[in-house]
Amino acid sequence: MSKYYDVTFHELSGKSVVKREIISDKEPFDVWEDACVSFTEDLLNIRVNEEAFVTLNRRFVVRVDAEEVDGPVDKKIKRHDEIMGVVNTLSNMGF
């Protein structure tokens, strides 16, 4: 089953590159591969958004974090539930 992840690549310099909502069927330790457009032994090529591409030297990547997040459908469901909760509270108050 596919899950959504936010993947963060941390560099030795203290900077980090975040790739959000990566859909993957892989194990959490291998999700970073799906976050990259391509990778070699020396480089990681990442498309951050529609206009930005980043190439990281693997020697300077000190840590990769993969955090499981809600997908777009789950976010819409939660947002709808929150709005319905607010409407219900306001109607109970007489508004």
- Beta bridge mates, 23: 4
3-state secondary structure the chain: CCEEEEEEEEECCCCEEEEEEEEECCCHHHHHHHHCCEECCCEEEEECCCCCEEEEEHHHEEEEEEEEECCHHHHHHHHHHHHHHHHHHHHHCCC
**Structural domains of the chain in order of their starting residue, each with its CATH number:** 3-69 (2.30.30)
pTM confidence score: 0.73
pLDDT digits (tens, 9 = 90+) for 3-57: 999 999 999 999 999 999 899 999 989 999 999 999 999 999 999 888 999 999 9
